[in-house]
Amino acid sequence: QVQLVESGGGLVQAGGSLRLSCAASGRTSVTYQMGWFRQAPGKSREFIASVSWSDSTTYYGPSVKGRFTISKDNARNTVYLQMNSLKPEDTAVYYCATATITKKTYDYWGQGTQVTVSS
């Protein structure tokens, strides 16, 4: 099993920045890819960013590209999401997830951290 714990969420004014962290524990040797998703009230889950654990290849969702940056620390089994130029529409619960080497699907999820951007 893999356990994920997000941290770093909070309240920030528009134009500000936040850095989210997601620490993995358990059987972390099976990690293939880690990603960030978000879900706002009344809306479906949205892909934010992902990073490959082996070669550090990154992908970003169109709504955050150029503003958000994903990074990782393999030794600490931790993934980060640096969020800059935040907008009120970025308000959501942010989740991190892990895809395993064997299944390559996001089958492990954290509990989420709330990000609220005020005007």
User: Residue 30: pLDDT band by 50, 70, 90 thresholds?
Assistant: confident
| Residue range 60-73: mean pLDDT, rounded | 96
Whether residue 28 has pLDDT greater than 90: no
Scan for tokens 């960030």, then name that residue: 36
Buried b or exposed e, range 38-59, using 16+ CB within 10 angstroms: beeeeeeebbbbbbebeeeeee
Whether residue 27 has pLDDT greater than 90: no
Whether residue 9 has pLDDT greater than 90: yes
What's the token pair of residue 26?
């358990």
pLDDT tens track for 82-105: 999 999 999 999 999 999 999 899
What's the token pair of residue 111?
């509990």
Contacts of 42 by beta carbon, 8 Å cutoff, 6+ apart: none
Whether residue 71 has pLDDT greater than 90: yes
